[in-house]
Amino acid sequence: MMPRDDDLRFDPDAPLGPKFWSTGPVDDRRRVRDASIRPLNSICRLIAPGPLLGSGTVIARRAILTAGHNLQGVAHTRWHIDQGFNQTPQYYPLKGAREFPHPRWSGARDPNFDIGLVALAEDAPTSFPSSVVSEDDADASIYVCGYSLDDPNFQRFDVGSLTNAEGNVAGHTCDTAPGQSGSPVLAYDNNSTRLIGVHVYGYAELDDLFPGPVNKAVLLVPEIVEWIDGILQGSEN
């Protein structure tokens, strides 16, 4: 289920970032005060020299789900990974062991497969498993939470919905900023929260497939989940 505002411990006085990839006239992202609650405690900050910043989610004891382009040209030995970081001592530094961008991203840069996994060198303390997206999710409420360059020491969060799903990709109406690529797209209702996609791209102009100011996500369709499961099984053997 979706945590209430008091559970998420939003900081109402925290300054909002500049209007990056907002879907309206105002950036509605809010800062999370406490990232120790599930599933926020499985969201990771990915830092590489540059500086580069991305986001991801620990979905199994030794695997992080993120955007494929976050893994482009950066060796795992150069990643600094913090799980559940929110400018508090209650977070977990992790060490990557290998990157697995989807082959259709690493080869043809197919935007429908801009997704990847980071295999970890050791077990993560918590995880939040991914789920196959369903037809019902087209009408579901969602939220996107991750780390951004304008506020890299805190998770930032916005609520919205999916729009114009086409194949593996859908638009969404959650505000984001650079650095939030790889953030989980989480569908929720009163009973559950499910990880159904990965935020991959901020877009605030018109295009043919996604009219209007929307951001984009790669959805966890059966083909992608099958690929994820294959990587997870191989990395655990």
- CATH number reported for the structural domain that contains residue 121 in this entry: 2.40.10.10
Residue 12 lies in a domain: no
Residue 45 lies in a domain: yes
Tokens of 214: 């929307």
Residue 111 lies in a domain: yes
The H or E element that residue 6 is part of is helix 5-8
What total of structural domains would you count in the chain? 1
Residue 108 lies in a domain: yes
* CB proximity list for 67: less than 8 A, separation 6 or greater: 54, 56, 114, 115, 116, 181, 182, 198, 199, 200, 218
Reported as a single tens digit per residue, the pLDDT across 131-157 is 999 888 888 899 999 999 888 889 999
Residue 26 lies in a domain: no
By residue range, what is the domain housing residue 98?
38-128+226-236
Q: How far apart are CA 50 and CA 125, in angstroms?
A: 28
Indicate the pLDDT class of residue 9, thresholds 50, 70 and 90: very low
Higher pLDDT, 189 or 127: 127
Residue 100 lies in a domain: yes
- Please give the angle made by the CA atoms of 108, 61 and 219, to the nearest 5 degrees: 40
